[in-house]
Amino acid sequence: MKEITITVNGTAHTLQVENRLLLVHFIREVLNLTGTHIGCDTSSCGACTILLNGKSVKSCTVLAVQANGKEIQTVEGLAPEGSLHPLQEGFKENHGLHCGFCTPGMMMRASELLQNNPNPTEDEIRWGISGNLCRCTGYNNIVKAIQYAGAKIRGEELPSTEPEFV
């Protein structure tokens, strides 16, 4: 057991954890923040993506003790209480989710992408989310959702929200 302090969505948590506890299990089971999903435990799907000190990481590949002293943002911390982050609004308006399982990880990856490049091309978005798998959308509306969020963050006119159904 080791005592760690991790700041999650702006709140510091100091707890004793097993040395082998994965960060994804710390987030879900210890902190009860279940927006971070467990999809594969092998870093293949990206459903568990969070921001660790502002960088997107797959939390199934990080031990909680490795996050000691660091800042984490989960999908629950994207927007202030009672409002939607532009990414959340974009996914809603553009039908960027079907089952929703990949959505939290996609949003967290897209959040870092838009922080580093507020006006990405379609190819840059597709490359940026390539480590996150979606089994049911075909990605077209996810790309549109991220374009929508980028435009909203930049204060530009919002692109059409007509969904593409394939």
Check whether residue 108 and residue 70 sit in a common domain: no
What is the C-alpha separation between 146 and 125, in angstroms, rounded? 8
Check whether residue 30 and residue 71 sit in a common domain: yes
What is the C-alpha separation between 121 and 126, in angstroms, rounded? 9
Tell me which residue range forms the domain holding 125. 86-154
Task: From 77, 97, 119, give the residue that closes a domain.
Answer: 77
The amino acid sitting at 118 is: P
- Bridge-partner residues for 71, per DSSP? 7
Asked if pLDDT for residue 72 goes beyond 70, the answer is yes
Q: Are 96 and 145 spatial neighbours (Cβ–Cβ below 8 Å)?
A: yes
**What is the model's pLDDT at position 138?**
84
Answer yes or no: is 165 within a domain. Answer: no
Check whether residue 105 and residue 149 sit in a common domain: yes
Q: What band does 95 get if pLDDT is binned at 50, 70 and 90?
A: very high
Task: From 77, 108, 143, give the residue that closes a domain.
Answer: 77
Check whether residue 6 and residue 70 sit in a common domain: yes
If one counts the domains in the chain, the total is 2
Check whether residue 69 and residue 37 sit in a common domain: yes
**What is the model's pLDDT at position 70?**
98
**What is the model's pLDDT at position 81?**
85
**What is the model's pLDDT at position 163?**
60
Answer yes or no: is 162 within a domain. Answer: no
- Reported as a single tens digit per residue, the pLDDT across 148-162 is 999 999 999 887 766
**What is the model's pLDDT at position 75?**
97
For the chain, percent of residues with pLDDT exceeding 90 = 85
pLDDT, averaged across the chain: 94
Task: From 42, 77, 112, give the residue that closes a domain.
Answer: 77
**What is the model's pLDDT at position 57?**
97
Pairing of strands 71-73, 2-8: parallel
Average pLDDT estimate for 62-70: 98
Check whether residue 92 and residue 33 sit in a common domain: no
**What is the model's pLDDT at position 166?**
58
Q: What band does 112 get if pLDDT is binned at 50, 70 and 90?
A: very high
What is the C-alpha separation between 19 and 1, in angstroms, rounded? 6
Average pLDDT estimate for 9-23: 97
